[in-house]
Amino acid sequence: MPENWREFVDPDEWVLNREGLPARRAARVIVLRRTPRPAILLAVGHDAADAGRLWAFTPGGGILPREGPKQGALRELAEETGVHLTARDLVGPVVDRSARLDFDRITCRQEELFYLARLDARGVGRADAARGEDGQMDRSGWTAAEHEVLDSLRWWPLDELDAAAGAGMTVYPAVLPALARSLLAGWDGRVRVIREED
């Protein structure tokens, strides 16, 4: 680990763990809709150190001090997408993921809880989030760092996600395309445990 690792990640969110890696707790939201076509809300970003290294992932991020995972998931969803939900709108956690990942020249450890939210045009206060000709979402809450590394935030029809993942696009977690289809049919109450080493 480079001695200047704090220059690459926010030292208020990341601390060195027992592995000697910057680590943080995070919360994410798997946002699904059924209409007009089954789709998932995903960001696509690139590595600041390698713009050709792309991946797709769900909205979310680090949990702040004195903040619970569900509150962190709701805050991150609002900041990154402009979608404001309440704790009653989230189901789960549906996934507990531990991932070791390489980003911006350093290796990190992230412990994540994923929640599920369903947005459909008929839902109260959700119509704007569920529609849009180009599928783009509100990016006004993005930080300067997010503007640097995030390339898009939009609804991905599940068939399009399947095709992109089949063509080699990196998706985090890797099981997300199949998981999205399973969760669209309803959550079975089981928390899926995922351990990934990048």
Say which range, 14-18, 75-79, 110-114, 157-161, has the weakest mean pLDDT.
14-18
Please report, as a single letter, which amino acid is at residue 34: R
Q: Which residue has the tokens 């928390």?
A: 191
Residue 165 has what DSSP assignment? H
Q: If you average pLDDT over residues 118-141, what whole number do you get?
A: 55
Hey, what domains does the chain have and what are their CATH numbers?
5-119+136-184 (3.90.79.10)
Q: What's residue 176's pLDDT?
A: 93
Q: What is the pLDDT of residues 131-152, one digit of tens each?
A: 444 455 666 666 666 656 666 7
When pLDDT is cut at 50, 70 and 90, the band that residue 124 belongs to is: very low
What are the start-end ranges of the E strands in 5-139? 15-16, 22-33, 39-47, 50-57, 60-62, 91-103, 106-118
- Evaluate whether 147 touches 155 at the Cβ level (below 8 Å): no
Peptide bond into 36 cis (omega under 30): yes
pTM of the model: 0.83
Residue with the bigger pLDDT between 63 and 140: it is 63
Proportion of the chain above pLDDT 90, given as a percent:
38
Torsion of CA 69, 71, 72, 78, to 10 degrees: 150
Highest mean pLDDT among 52-66, 75-89, 121-135: 75-89
Q: Which of 109-118, 177-186, 189-198 has the lowest mean pLDDT?
A: 189-198
pLDDT at 97 over 60: yes
CA 45 – CA 152 distance, rounded (Å): 7
> Which class for 186: exposed (0-12), middle (13-18), buried (19 or more C-beta within 10 A)?
exposed
